[in-house]
Amino acid sequence: WLKGTCSSASVIFSRPADPRRRTLRAAAWEAAMFYVVDMETYLGVKPEYCGPGYLEYIEEALRQKVEGTVCDKGQIVAVGHSQPLDHGKIQEGTGLVLVKIRYWAVVIQNFKNEVVDCEVVEVNSLGFFGELGPVRIFVSKTSMPKGWRYSEDSMHRGGGPAYVSATGTSSIQRETAVRVRLLATKRDADRMLAIGTTDGDYLGPRVLG
């Protein structure tokens, strides 16, 4: 499912559209940019796995170790091709075989002032949270255009609490697709966070075609 143009450092690609499985969340992923990065790490292998099935074991162990973690390149979404760079060395005191692994990881990275599409997953009186793949984005009510207000009126309860425009013609509630501009990004050990705004041209709730 990967496709793109190779360069010496990375690959930018998107998931192919499948109209039979298209959802708001999938559409947001399609609009995102991902990179394939050449990386290295060490794996500790127990001696009992150094026989038949060794390569399959280290491939699975690599995925368990790195997928979902955050590195300086971004958050690792998936591991592609991998290969051991040596036969490994015995680690004193543990008996583990330390093997250096080279692998290609699919990572997602966001940047300040980048414009992205996300799906709203939570709305409260302080603002709303959206998700772009594994990235969680918060938009404060002060970062929305003038006139937008928080509402729990019965006309909006079908989707829970909502933010409604001054004219009442647009709203942001759970599962709404929203285009935001990122004001700041932050990395934790196991996730990426961002703060965004909908105050600007072509930002805010959008209709997916």
pTM: 0.69
Over residues 18-43, the mean pLDDT reads: 63
Count Cβ atoms within 10 A of the Cβ of residue 146 and give its class: 0-12 exposed, 13-18 middle, 19 or more buried.
exposed
**Most confidently modeled of 43-52, 77-86, 121-130?**
121-130
Q: H/E/C letters for each residue in 61-125? A: HHHHHHCCCEECCEEEEEEEEEEECCCCEECCCCCCEEEEEEEEEEEECCCCCCEEEEEEEEEEC
d(C-alpha 113, C-alpha 141), whole Å: 18
Share of the chain above pLDDT 70, in %: 80
pLDDT value for 209: 46
The one-letter amino acid at 95: G
- Strand 177-187 relative to strand 115-124, pairing: antiparallel
Tokens found for residue 198:
């909908």
Say whether pLDDT at 116 is over 60: yes
- Going by C-alpha positions, the residue among 9, 35, 44 that lies closest to residue 111 is 35
Say whether pLDDT at 28 is over 50: no
Over residues 195-199, the mean pLDDT reads: 95
pLDDT value for 155: 57
